[in-house]
Structure 1
Amino acid sequence: MSLQPSKKAVRETMTLKRTKDILADLIAFETVSADSNLEIIRYLTDRLEALGARCIETRDATGKKANVFATLGPDIPGGILLSGHTDVVPVADQDWTSDPFEMVERDGRLYGRGSCDMKGFIAATLAFAEGLDAGKLTQPLHFAFTYDEETGCLGAQNLVNDLSHRGIVPDIAIIGEPTEMRVIEGHKGCFEYTTRFTGLEGHSSAPDDGVNAAEYAARYVGKLLELRHILKSRAPAGSAFEPPWTTINVGFFNSGVAHNVIASKAEIGWEMRPVQASDADLVNQTLSDYINYTLLPEMQAVHPEASITQDVVAEVQGLEPMEDNAARKLVAELTGANGTGTVAFATEAGLFQQLGVHAIVCGPGSITQAHKADEYVEIEQLDLCCRMLDRLGRRLTA
């Protein structure tokens, strides 16, 4: 028996090594969501164009953030999309044991901001693309790398709108968020809002002469908590989510300047994670009615210029499990998975599903490592991802 490694084993080993090299490059780009990502997008675009990819760039209104959508293979409808976001969360006030923007290999792990969430997957897709014979692809192979996923999936929303206008609709999308290479067919939506109250300040000894924004904001929070209780009773039968109902969270409440001053301003940051669209409709309609028919009339009876406004930070639809999902079938075959699951955290997958794409979430690493100091991805996880992509490549070039 020959002791020489098979060509398949050598190819996968080389792909993994190349993935690690690319990941080191990607981690070195400090793509915190508050900053520009143009340098990493140029890096990704240059590498893809060198392989013959047709690239489309979409930017935000400032011109400082960009997506890239690239295609290898025949210029025909459909195809497979591999998607990931380039932005990462901040490292400020986190106690890292090494430079967060320099990859460190230790004990079978690769440390660095974004290693898990989700530059590891992006690196694997680039290494995979470099090993392909694009001329043999029987259908399009697309790559989508986006901005500002961490702040409301803003880049993916821009990208999906652009693809819709261009009439580009891949058949299947694999979004490589960290799932430990499990096949995830559903997740909740993520709707984030900032609600602002403007009242009338005054001395606390005469509360009826002012409009206390803090008090009206507190009543609004009370309504959110009432809705939270109602939503528990609306959990769909057989819901695959944990918890099975739509949740509401109040993230921050800012108001006031002193104990003896009627607060003229208040601000609430809150979110809900719907399991079904009807829950989001219920919450938004109930709050709108409460503002327009209760809170605002009371405030304006004292001070006509009082106001309540709301900013939509993000309204990202969930990924709804589908009875017939070609992406689920494909990725289960590629990974050998015997089943699928759901997660509570949101991804860009629901946006692609809205475009008409069969979408699935599957990528290396664990979400429990994301956003933390000393973020890491297991090398074994990257290897599993490389193996999945290698099997995909053999299918697409058969």
Structure 2
Amino acid sequence: MSIVVVVRLLVLLLLIALTVILITRRLDVPYTLGLVVVGLGISLFVNTGPFHLTPDLVLFVFLPALLFEGSWSMSVRALRDNWLTIFLLAVPGLLLEAILIAVPLRFLTPLSWIDAFLLAAILSPTDPIAVLGLFRQLKVDAQLSTIIEGESLFNDGVAGVLYQVVLVFVLASIHHVQLTPFQMIGQGLLTLLQQAGGGIVVGILCGFLISRFVKYIDDPLIEITITIVTAYGVYLLADYLHMSGILAVIVAGLILGSYGQMHAMSERTREVVDSFWSVIAFVANALLFLLVGVQLDPLEFLQSAQLSLYLSIAGLAIAAVLVARYLLVLILPAHLPGMRLRSWRFLIFWSGLRGALSLALVLALPLELPSRAALLFATYAVVFFTLMVQGFSLRFILHRIPSLHN
């Protein structure tokens, strides 16, 4: 595809996105959900050949920017005040969700254990962009927003690591490599240590080194450029070293956004950098959700001879995701910050939307994986259900729970 065609497509997508955003604001609807609906309409009535949402586009173009902006703007004090709730949701909670999703998929569908856990890892990360936009619009309690945003930020990294661990066994199965139970455990732990531990170490080292470097510069344009290099450079470095780029960017962004801002940047620079990343995140989200809608093309599967099987797996996956999320929130200790109000528990449960990362992970599956089409359809179905049903119903719910508002 030539540069001219790419620029034309980008301008066209931005024009569509801006039109949808202006209309949804008039209708008082979250713009992200409006973009998904319009994208779905485009996929049904227009030849969407050049509009495909590829895994590389999400993982190497959109994701580093969105992760960096989220961690840069995240209040470390708010994270510290709610760290236990966020940790339980994002780490042991995500692993529990994955098990609760995988088990019924294994016993009630033809999926193998490996395929069931692979789909569970793909469906585990939450995407709260639409939720948080609605929260800010309706002035929902800031602590609840912090919990949901913090959980999403960290469970993206945990889900990415879990996906890589399961993918090791998937690739071994595809290439007919026989592993003993001890070899499987060892390989899984090694991948976990390399992905999670390595990503965190890379993020810490880069975050502190860049923060110290920025201290000797007082030029907003140069410092904005440094943050761009940080967002993409740290991600690419970690990926090159076969470590978690997601965790590396999150950690580096948190360090640069807290320690770096306070000790190395002037107030004028902080304001300029904040504005720049707000615009980048807004444009990236607009394009991403429009492309998510385009990617959810139901006509692709309607003519399949295995449509009934795909529908049964997708229906069970939707039910399993909802039940797993509900049970996770239900068993959280009552004394945790944000868990004292029953309405908060329900909102944390119902705000567990799935989005672009799940699509990127499933699209990145090896083409030779026999169950790839079924996993793809199930992921599309879960993403569409959570965005459309849960996303659109949130406004109605929020208006009827006064205790959620500041």
TM (norm. structure 2) is 0.29
- Higher radius of gyration, 1 or 2: 1
